[in-house]
Amino acid sequence: MRFQPTSLQLFACACAGVATLGTGPASEPLRLSLADALQYSRRENQEISALKHEAEASRAAQSAQFSRFLPTLNAELNVGTSRDKDPSTNQPTPEVPREYNHYAGALVLRQSLFSGFSDYANYQAAGAEVEAQDLTLLARQQDLRRQVIEAYFEIQLDIAKIAAEEEVEKAREQQLIFSTNRFRSGFVTEVDVLRARYDLESQKPVIAGLRSDLEKKKLNFAHLVGLPLDQAFELIVSLEQAHAALANAKLPTLPEALTLALETNTTIRSLRAELQKTDYEAAAKRGSHLPKLDLVVRAESRANLREDIGTPDSQRYSGMLELNVPLFTGLSSVYERTAAAEKNAAIEARFETTKQQLLRDLNAALRDLDLSRLRTTTGESNVKLARRTVEQSTAQYKAGSTTLTTVLDAYAQLLQARKEFSQALFDGVKAVATAQNLIGVAASTELDAGQG
């Protein structure tokens, strides 16, 4: 069955909550689902806004090219004076040259009938530029979407890591108290107390570092989404919710993903548009070396006295076909054809390179997703095993049947298991977002259908 782009979006659709964007008091944090964040970024991101203006400018340029197919109408006005025989005297040989005025006004209509197809080629090239600008906008929207998803869950990953560290920190605090009491009672040596205190103190800068990273990532997220940097916010979709959606997502095989990407990937489509534009520009240059045929209609009035302007005797009308045939333009046409052929060859080479890179990146993203699912499954089991190990080792230490080293190692295993589990969840989300970006999911449909 052919893969549909929306299948790859199931994970985000399941994560999407009801939009909660509003203009509440500044003291209230803004609650953002993943759908909210994506919608807000499309509306508020300034880079997207700039690209939209550039796309509109390219449309205006295409409209300007269309005007070449329309006739032009020019008005010509001339007023001057001459020292010569005065035509108004009607004398064949005037005794003395006289100064006299002359007045002329004309309307000239020119319609291009044939321009060597250069006008048509320029118009088509402008259309290819419009498509290229639209694809640039779409590519940035899709890449921004990927960045927002990754930034959203990077925050959730740091929050999960901090929660794991804080849970183990509290347990280590209790262990230090218990080890101190046992030392005072003479059941253990001071080494147990020192070891417990060392592990507890070593954890504090780790937590501080994670909190610092979290604040940096929050600022980066606010910048990507377009939020005021002083706007407090909460992210309501957890890594676990994203994982639940990932479990239900129907993803394509590598051949299916590559086939779809060759049709919808924005980089591939941009190269095709660039190739078309190059062909049209080459056609326009070839047309400049061909004959050009214009229809010229002229209506004018010429007089030497102001009162004669516009009279029937002063009016003249003419129509003509004007043919312009280039006979020699140097060797520019030869070099232009060579330049166009080389440019096309370069684009085709980039196309093949991009296709191979796309295959490698898609393969990596899909394999990363499969690996993250396996790591998530085993990671969830490892967290449960680590908790049981902590419980049993702690009970045995209290009973005096094991050492403090065993207990502290159990804490370290639990912390590592929780971090690896959260990292596996994040890697899965990142792999799906990367695959979506490589395939070229339409930016206008990625989440909206999943809300409600």
- What the chain holds in terms of domains, given with CATH numbers, is 5-71+116-289+334-450 (1.20.1600.10)
> How far is Cα 436 from Cα 422, in angstroms, rounded to an integer?
22
Q: Tell me the C-alpha distance between 362 and 261, whole Å.
A: 9
User: In sequence order, what are the beta bridge partners of 75?
Assistant: 107
Tens digit of each residue's pLDDT, the chain (452 residues): 333 444 444 444 444 433 333 444 446 888 999 989 998 888 888 888 888 888 899 888 888 888 888 888 899 888 888 776 655 556 555 555 666 677 888 899 988 888 878 888 888 888 888 988 898 888 888 889 999 999 999 999 999 999 999 989 998 898 899 899 989 988 888 999 998 999 899 989 999 999 999 999 999 999 889 888 888 999 999 888 887 776 666 678 888 888 888 888 888 988 988 888 888 888 888 888 888 888 889 888 888 777 777 778 888 888 888 888 888 777 777 888 888 889 889 989 999 999 999 999 999 998 998 898 899 999 999 999 999 999 999 999 888 888 888 998 999 999 999 999 999 999 988 988 888 889 887 543 333 333 32
CA distances from residue 61 to 34, 58, 275 in whole angstroms, order as listed: 37, 5, 19
Q: Residue 96 has what pLDDT?
A: 54
pLDDT the model gives residue 201: 92
Written as six digits, the tokens of 376 are 């998530």
Closest C-alpha to 427, from 162, 206, 225, 242: 242
Q: What does the buried/exposed string (b/e) look like for 296-307 if buried means 16 or more CB atoms within 10 Å of the residue's CB?
A: eebebbbbeeee
pLDDT reported for residue 445: 37
Contacts from 215-222 at CB under 8 Å and sequence distance 24+? Answer: 217/151, 217/154, 217/155, 217/158, 218/155, 220/151, 221/37, 221/148, 221/151, 221/152, 221/154, 221/155
Structure tokens at 99: 């100064």
Whole-number pLDDT of residue 116: 74
Based on C-alpha coordinates, what's the Rg of the chain? 38
Residue type, position 73, single letter: L
352, amino acid identity: E
pLDDT of 23? 40
Q: What's the 3-state SS for the chain?
A: CCCCHHHHHHHHHHHCCCCCCCCCCCCCCEEECHHHHHHHHHHHCHHHHHHHHHHHHHHHHHHHHHHHHCCEEEEEEEEEEEEECCHHHCCCCCCCCEEEEEEEEEEEEEEEEECCCHHHHHHHHHHHHHHHHHHHHHHHHHHHHHHHHHHHHHHHHHHHHHHHHHHHHHHHHHHHHHHHHHHHHCCCCHHHHHHHHHHHHHHHHHHHHHHHHHHHHHHHHHHHHCCCCCCCEEECCCHHHHHHHHHHCCCCCHHHHHHHHHHHCHHHHHHHHHHHHHHHHHHHHHHCCCCEEEEEEEEEEEECCHHHCCCHHHEEEEEEEEEECCCCECEHHHHHHHHHHHHHHHHHHHHHHHHHHHHHHHHHHHHHHHHHHHHHHHHHHHHHHHHHHHHHHHHHHHCCCCCHHHHHHHHHHHHHHHHHHHHHHHHHHHHHHHHHHHHCCCCCCCCHHHCC
Taking alpha carbons only, the member of 246, 191, 284, 185 closest to residue 436 is 246
For residue 79, what are the contacts with CB-CB under 8 A and spacing of at least 6?
101, 102, 103, 104
Task: Please name which of 248, 232, 218, 155 lies closest in space to residue 450, comparing C-alpha atoms.
Answer: 248
